[in-house]
Amino acid sequence: MMLAAYRGLTKAAGPLILLALRLRRRRGKEHAVRAGERIGRPGLARPEGRLIWLHAASVGEAISLLRLIERLQVGYTVLLTTGTVASAELMARRLPDGALHQFVPIDRLAWVRRFLDHWRPDLALWAESEFWPNLLTETARRSVPMILLNGRVSDRSFARWQRLPGLIGPMLAAFVLCLGQTGRDAERLRALGAANAATVGNLKFAAAPLHADPKALAALALQLADRPRWLAASTHEGEELLAGRVHRRLAAEFPTLVSLIAPRHPERGDAIARALTEAGFTVSRRSLGEPIAPATEIYLADSFGEFGLLFRLVPVVWMGKSLIGRGGQNPLEPARLGAAVLFGPHMGNFVDIAERMAQAGAAFRVADEADLATAVRARLAEPARARDEGLAASRFASAEDGVLDAVLGAIATWLP
C-alpha cells in the first residue's frame, strides 16, 4: 500500500520534478549537458555482453568502489551511477579505463524503466544507504540479482525506517544479499526486512590512496615552503569561520601559519571567501589560481577532487562536519596518506571507524573549537608527535586491505 502510494505520488509529481531539475541546473547542481540521464535517457550506448551496474550516491561512496570496479572489469562491462555533479567530475578522472558512468535517474517509475530498458544489467551492486523505492523494486521485478554493499543504517535512519515498514521492507527484500559495514548494521538490516544480511568488513578500508597530480603537488609544496600549516577538510557551512578563528588563536605563536580550508562543496567558494575576507583574513583561492603569497593566512582550496593533494601537504588534518555539522567525513582518507587526524564529537556516519581509530591512537577526538585549537597547536609545536600519529593512522588505514577479497568472495555466487 505504501509503495503504491509512493509510486502514485512520484508519477503525479513529474512536472514539478522537471521544474526542480531545471532550477538545480541553473544553480550548477545538475549537469547542463547530461541532464537527460536524470530522466532515464541514456548518454552512452550499452556495450554488448555482460554488464554489472554499481550505484553510489556521491563522492565518498564512489571512491570506495573504485578498486572493486577494477576487479570486476575482468570479463564484464561495469557501469557506475552516481547522483551529484561533483561525483561525475571526479569519476571522469578516476574511473578505470573501460568503465562507464551515468547519472542515476530520478526515482520516477517511467524514468527508471527507461534506464533499465536501455542498460539491462545482469547484476546490480548498491552502495551504503541510498534507497530509492522505484529503482530497487523495479530492478528486482526484472529478476536482476541485487546486492547491498557496505550497508549502513545510522541511529537516525533506523528510527525513521522503523516508522515506514511498508516502504523499507519491500526495498530490502529486493536484495539477494545485504552486506553491512558492521555487525550492528547487518542486525539492523535484518530487523528492517533484509532476508539475507551479513558482514565481511567495511569496504572503505579497501579504497586506494587518493590521487595527487605530481606537478600540482610540487608547485604547492614550493609555495608553502617551510611554513607551518594544517588543513580543515570537508568543511560545511559555519566551519570555515570556525577554522578561521582557530587560525587567529594560533597565529600569535606561529606568525607564518597557513590554514588550508577545503570545503566539502567547492561551489560555495565565493560565499566562503567573502565571509573570511569580511572577518579580516587574507585569503588566496585555489579555484582562481591565486598563489600562496607571504601575506596569505587562509588558503581556500575550493577545487574538486584534490584532497589527495592536500592531505599529502599537511601534518595535521581536522575532518569537517564533526563540530558544527552532523555525521562527520571519512577519516580514513587522510590517515591513509600519513596525516595526524582530528575530528569532533559528531561522527555518526563513521561511528565504528571513528571509535576504533580513537582507541588505537590513530585519530583524536576534539570536543569543541577551543579543544581543536589546542590539538592543532600541540602538533604544530611538536612535529615528531604529528609524524608518529600520522604513521599510526596510516597503519590503521591499511590494516584491513583483505576486505576487498572478502566482498568478492561473498558476491561470487551471483557474478554472471
How high is the pLDDT of residue 171? 93
* Integer Cα distance of 160 and 319 in angstroms: 27
Mean pLDDT of 98-121: 97
- Residue partners of 28: CB distance under 8 A and separation at least 6: 85, 267
Residue holding cell 552502495?
A: 127
pLDDT of 103 above 80: yes
Instruction: Tell if the pTM clears 0.85, that is, is over it.
Output: yes
Residues 405 and 391 occupy one common structural domain: no
The pLDDT > 90 percentage for the chain reads 87
| Domain membership flag for residue 345 | yes
CA–CA gap between residue 112 and residue 3 (Å, rounded): 15
| Catalytic positions, written as ranges | 61
Residues 188 and 247 in one domain: no
Does residue 311 sit in the same domain as residue 184?
Answer: no
Who has greater pLDDT, 327 or 287?
287
Question: Distance between CA atoms of 50 and 414, rounded to whole angstroms?
Answer: 13
Q: What confidence category does residue 258 fall into, taking pLDDT thresholds of 50, 70 and 90?
A: very high
Can you tell me the mean pLDDT for 8-37?
93
Please indicate, yes or no, whether residues 126 and 229 belong to a single structural domain of this protein. no
Considering the domain architecture, whether residues 239 and 100 belong to the same structural domain is answered as no
For the chain, the domain total comes to: 2
In tens, the pLDDT along 124-142 reads: 999 988 899 999 999 999 9
The answer on 272 and 299 residing in a single domain is yes
Residue 289 belongs to domain with CATH number? 3.40.50.2000
Tell whether 321 and 300 lie within a shared domain: yes
CA 356 → CA 51, 154, 291, 329, 359, distances in Å? 37, 17, 38, 15, 5
Residue 127 resides in a domain = yes
Q: pLDDT value at position 27? A: 87
* DSSP bridge pairs for 296: none
State how beta strands 364-365 and 340-343 pair: parallel
Q: Which domain holds residue 390?
A: 214-397
281 falls within a domain? yes
Q: 3 lies in a domain? A: no
pLDDT-derived band at 147 (thresholds 50, 70, 90) equals very high
Cα distance between residue 62 and residue 151, in whole Å: 14
Rounded mean pLDDT of the chain?
Answer: 95
CA neighbor of 263 nearest in space, from 59, 113, 109: 59
150 assigned to some structural domain: yes
